[in-house]
Amino acid sequence: MRTGTSQRDDQRQTAQQRRKELLEAADRVVLRDGPEASMNAIAAEAGITKPILYRHFGDKGGLYRALAKRHTDALLASLRAALDAPADDRRQRVEATLDTYLAAIEARPQVYRFLMHPADHGQQEPEQSFDVGHHSAPLLRRLGEELATVIAERVELGPGGEEVARVWGHGIVGMMHAAGDWWLRERPCARGQLVHHLTDLLWGRLALADDRLGAPGF
């Protein structure tokens, strides 16, 4: 005879599996439609009605947060793997980490745009009009904090190291996000070239360059 606890466990597992299936359906729509992905389209892809989708996620903001966590978890796992991969020197490891981030947004640009850029409000359903920037900021902060933790674990920074690691973590994420966003829109160079230039910047090439930055007007 089944106990109430085992029945609740079964119900929880069923709900978790259903939620995973709905997120996979949402992923397929986002890959196709990008920021214009609608709750109607996601419900249709999942073979359910929109009220059932709301029951699981509340609104598009709830669905967005669930998708953001899903993709951020995967990206962080890839970044950690890149940092831990065998490398001849630390610069090579930094290049691999930057390339991992840029390769991820290049491979799934529609997902990136859905997470980072709002759709044209004129094309949105009324219930979808939410501030994507308000939701994407916590995603970037989480990436910054997680990268700071990784830096603190792997680099001996001495006294005040935790503060330095957090500054570096958020600074590197901000650089990757801004440069990657610009690069994805304009494609001014190959990904490998962008990685090389960004690594030069992190490696202090700016400080070693000809001192033209002190000229009037900078």
Residue 43 CB coordination number (10 Å): 20
Give the pLDDT of residue 118.
61
**Between 139 and 189, residue with greater pLDDT:** 189
Residue 214 counted as domain residue: no
- Give counts: helices (H), strands (E), the chain: 10, 0
34-57 pLDDT, tens digit per residue, is 888 899 999 999 999 999 999 888
What phi-psi label fits residue 70: left (phi over 0), alpha (psi between -120 and 50 degrees) or beta? Answer: alpha
Nearest residue to 148 (alpha-carbon basis) of 80, 196, 87, 204: 80
Residue 217 counted as domain residue: no
Give the pLDDT of residue 213.
42
Residue 140 counted as domain residue: yes
Q: How confident is the model at residue 208 (pLDDT cuts 50, 70, 90)?
A: low
Give the pLDDT of residue 85.
80
80-109 pLDDT, tens digit per residue, is 888 888 877 888 888 999 999 999 999 999
Q: How confident is the model at residue 6 (pLDDT cuts 50, 70, 90)?
A: confident
Rounded Cα distance, 21 and 161, in Å: 42
| Whether 132 contacts 116, CB under 8 Å | yes
What phi-psi label fits residue 117: left (phi over 0), alpha (psi between -120 and 50 degrees) or beta? Answer: beta
Give the pLDDT of residue 7.
72
**Between 51 and 121, residue with greater pLDDT:** 51
Residue 215 counted as domain residue: no
Residue 49 counted as domain residue: yes
Give the pLDDT of residue 16.
86
**What is the rounded average pLDDT of the residues 185-195?**
96
Helix H or strand E segment including 17? helix 4-33
**Between 215 and 53, residue with greater pLDDT:** 53
Residue 213 counted as domain residue: no
What proportion of the chain, given as a percentage, has pLDDT over 70?
83
Q: How confident is the model at residue 206 (pLDDT cuts 50, 70, 90)?
A: low
**What is the rounded average pLDDT of the residues 139-155?**
87
Q: How far is CA 57 from the centre of its chain?
A: 20
* Separation of first and last alpha carbons in the chain: 78
Residue 79 counted as domain residue: yes
**Residue bearing tokens 């890149």:** 82
Give yes or no for residue 183 having a pLDDT over 80.
Answer: yes
Give yes or no for residue 64 having a pLDDT over 80.
Answer: yes
* Structural domain for 159, as ranges: 4-208
Q: Give me the number of domains the chain comprises.
A: 1
Strands (E), the chain: none
Residue 216 counted as domain residue: no
Read off the CATH number of the domain in which 37 is found: 1.10.357.10
Give helix 161-186 / helix 109-116 axis angle, nearest 10°. Answer: 120
**What is the rounded average pLDDT of the residues 176-188?**
95
* Residue 42 tokens, joined: 């996601």
**Between 119 and 202, residue with greater pLDDT:** 202
